[in-house]
Amino acid sequence: MNPDQDLLGHAAARAIAYTATIDGRGVAASAPAVDGLAAFDEPLPDRPGDPTETLDLLATVGGPATVATTGPHYFGFVNGATYPVALGAAFIADAWDQNAALPVMSPAAAKLHDVAAAWLNEVLGLPTATDVAFLSGATVANATCLAAARDALLIDAGWDVQRDGLFGAPEIQVVVGERAHSTLGKSLGLIGVGRERVLVVPADDQGRMRAELLPDLDPGAGPILACAQAGEVNTGAFDPFADIADWASERAAWLHVDGAFGLWALADPTRQHLVTGLRRADSLATDAHKWLNVTYDSGIAFVQREGALRRTFASVAGYLPPEHGFEAMHHTPQSSQRARQIEVWAVLRTLGRSGVAAMVQQSSDAARVIGARLTEAGVDVLNDVDLNQVLVRHVDGPTTERLIAAVQEDGRIWCGPTQWHDETAMRVSVSSWKTTVHDAERAAAVIVELAHHL
């Protein structure tokens, strides 16, 4: 092996050693590890140095100051772990360093795009013709879908946004649910329709849009863009898609669904009652770095209106049909891009259809166990645990804040806060493939122990 390969072997060994320790250590970075980050405060070197030493510094100083999100005991935000096959595929794909912008730049990336896209449509039960684009996360996937929606709605109204911009365009009527994810506003702002220039539909106690309160909008007053949600970030609740889709189709509205983690319920035969009508959406967004447990950053946009992504994102002659297969740079906001589809393909190929369903079921079973144990112990669970989220309040908001601080201080697990009905609650999100029902029992025992000590 030459020195370059020795260096890579060394890096791989360091990376593998990290994965071997992650399950057993405290979940949060220890205070000494965080203090140790000061070792990175070096002056910019004047001249070239030893790359092995750089990698060693990275591993020894950086590694301990990470949060153990890839282990079984992390329940914060909705942060997924990473399957070994995803990490392994990432190693190989990073070595390839392919630009996935155009098929001519990487036949391998182009082929794996097509295979991963077809498999995603199949495992989620979406029409085979659905356009699939790989992006950096759900925020950008939402924005990508919404930009395509904006342009399609306005083309139908006789206005070409790509040519003429939004000034003077017919006004789009934008409808969102009261519990839409905070980043949806960012996506709406980015596409120029405004974060707050929206009609907000009230939600029920689980955070589901109340479809009976959808406004009786007149499509004659401007095209309609409706944003629904699969998986409320605190409760995991699903909007009533069948009713929303009926409302949307009566008004020729574009229905978009943010399913950053909840969209994967489509793959679970035991959860089809939650997703009735969801497949009727014109566009859908999800993350693969959350529930599919690939590495960051990985989001996916699904657009069912043929040509809509291309109309918005083509750099040249957007009206032309694709001639040389799927050209990612003409279907996404980016031009150069890494081949995120490779890890998605690797996980789908390894799990298979039943394995994706089992991933959703395992996390949801673990969440149900946590919810049940907390309830038995007198700690309040505020949501119906139908998916992977458990929303917890102990006594009241301030006591819950003390419980969260105690959990984070303790270090055996990690959970974070949220606001629910204007008071603090604790969110327990099961998003790691490693978290089994056994780990859930342990996590619940930790929470109960700390709650009783308060």
Ligand X SMILES: *Cc1c(COP(=O)(O)O)cnc(C)c1O
* Binding segment toward ligand X, per CB under 6 A, in 256-264, 313-321, 396-404, 436-444: 256-264
Examine residue 238 and tell whether it contacts ligand X (CB under 6 A). no
Q: What are the backbone dihedrals phi and psi of residue 299, each rounded to the nearest 5 degrees, phi first?
A: -120, 165
Cα distances (angstroms) measured from residue 220 to each of 5, 48, 159, 227, 325: 65, 66, 15, 19, 38
CA distance 236 to 391: 9
List residues bridging with 371 in a β-sheet. Answer: none
Let me know if 296 is exposed, middle or buried by CB neighbors in 10 A (0-12, 13-18, 19+): middle
Indicate the DSSP class of residue 265: G
Examine residue 299 and tell whether it contacts ligand X (CB under 6 A). yes
Residues contacting ligand X: total by CB under 6 A: 13
214 token code pair: 């959808």
Examine residue 78 and tell whether it contacts ligand X (CB under 6 A). yes
- Which of 362/429 has CB closer to ligand X? 429
| Chosen residue from 100, 153, 233, 446 binding ligand X by CB under 6 A | 233
Residue 137 Cβ vs ligand X, minimum distance, rounded to whole Å: 3
Examine residue 387 and tell whether it contacts ligand X (CB under 6 A). no
CA R_g for the chain? 23
* Binding segment toward ligand X, per CB under 6 A, in 236-244, 257-265, 401-409, 413-421: 257-265
- The 3-state DSSP composition of the chain as helix, strand, coil percent (nearest 5) reads 50, 15, 40
Examine residue 71 and tell whether it contacts ligand X (CB under 6 A). no
| Chosen residue from 66, 183, 276, 375 binding ligand X by CB under 6 A | 183
Position closest to ligand X via CB: 137
Q: What are the backbone dihedrals phi and psi of residue 291, each rounded to the nearest 5 degrees, phi first?
A: -80, -30
278 contact partners, CB below 8 Å, separation of at least 6: 230, 238, 241, 257, 259, 263, 266, 284
- Which of 287/439 has CB closer to ligand X? 287
323 contact partners, CB below 8 Å, separation of at least 6: none
Residue 376 Cβ vs ligand X, minimum distance, rounded to whole Å: 28
Chain-centroid distance, C-alpha 11:
28
309 closest CA partner among 290, 325, 293, 329: 329
Residue 262 Cβ vs ligand X, minimum distance, rounded to whole Å: 7
Residue 205 Cβ vs ligand X, minimum distance, rounded to whole Å: 18
* Binding segment toward ligand X, per CB under 6 A, in 45-53, 258-266, 342-350, 416-424: 258-266
Examine residue 343 and tell whether it contacts ligand X (CB under 6 A). no
Cα dihedral angle (330, 114, 99, 85), rounded to 10 degrees? 140
- Which of 106/388 has CB closer to ligand X? 388
Give yes or no for a cis peptide into 268 (omega within 30° of 0). no
Residue 409 Cβ vs ligand X, minimum distance, rounded to whole Å: 26
Evaluate whether 79 touches 69 at the Cβ level (below 8 Å).
yes
Residue 301 Cβ vs ligand X, minimum distance, rounded to whole Å: 12
Residues 117-146 contacting ligand X, CB under 6 A: 137-139
* Binding segment toward ligand X, per CB under 6 A, in 47-55, 160-168, 253-261, 268-276: 253-261
Residue 299 Cβ vs ligand X, minimum distance, rounded to whole Å: 5
- Outline where 267-330 has alpha helix (H): 308-313
Examine residue 287 and tell whether it contacts ligand X (CB under 6 A). yes
- Which of 179/330 has CB closer to ligand X? 179
Residues 260-279 contacting ligand X, CB under 6 A: 260-261
Assign 393 to helix, strand or coil.
Answer: strand
* Binding segment toward ligand X, per CB under 6 A, in 124-132, 255-263, 310-318, 320-328: 255-263
Interacting residues with ligand X (CB under 6 A)? 78, 137-139, 181, 183, 231, 233, 258, 260-261, 287, 299
